[in-house]
Amino acid sequence: MLITKEIHIHMGHRVPFHKSRCRNIHGHTYVIEVGVDDKVIETKGSSDEGMVIDFSDLKDIMMDEIDTVFDHSFTMTEDDEFYPVFKELKKKGQKINFVKFVPTAENLAGYWYRLIESKLQERGISIKYVKVWETPTSTAVYTVEDHKKYVPKGQKRLEF
């Protein structure tokens, strides 16, 4: 059975090589939805009886892995020309995340998928997808199928 949980975060980023406005420093209110697809727990008397996973447990994982790290932060690739400036800002206490990829909705969905997947695997639960709304009308969905096969053209598997 498929269940979902969503959280909202506020995060700035920059797409340094973008042909348009996204190369500028800007931010979004991201909506992140995680879909979990597994069997319903049937253990009689269990706290989770009748559930795939308790929604609050899934939310706790999402908050620990995504919200705590990324909410009210700025995320940028280590390849950005402004990296030295932001490295200094981080030293002065600013919440800056440096990643090995351009922080597009697509790449963030894949990255957050991997973070959540490892925590769910510890519980023996299967993740189905992570969906990221960068704007109310623009989403990226990274699925279990993408995780098995996706490699961008001309590139090795994206290292997170």
Q: Is 72 a catalytic residue?
A: yes
Residue 134 known to be catalytic: yes
Q: What average pLDDT does this structure show over 85-113? A: 96
Q: What is the pLDDT of residues 37-68, one digit of tens each?
A: 999 988 898 888 899 999 999 999 999 999 99
Q: Which of 65, 106, 117, 134 is catalytic?
A: 134
Return the residue matching tokens 């706290």: 47
Q: What is the structure's pLDDT at 153? A: 52
Asked about 88 being catalytic, the answer comes back as: no
Give me the mean pLDDT over the 102-112 stretch.
Answer: 95
User: Domain 2-149 maps to which CATH number in 3.20.20.70, 3.30.930.10, 3.30.479.10, 3.30.70.60?
Assistant: 3.30.479.10
In Å, how far are 1, 34, 47, 60, 160 from 50, measured between CA atoms?
11, 19, 9, 19, 35
Per-residue model confidence (pLDDT) at position 130: 97
In this structure, are residues 52 and 3 in contact, taking their beta carbons and an 8 Å threshold?
yes
Active-site option among 8, 72, 78, 145: 72
The verdict on pTM exceeding 0.85 is: yes
Domain ranges of the chain: 2-149
C-alpha distances (whole Å) from 115 to each of 4, 67, 100, 120, 142 are 16, 12, 15, 9, 12
Mean pLDDT of 69-90: 96
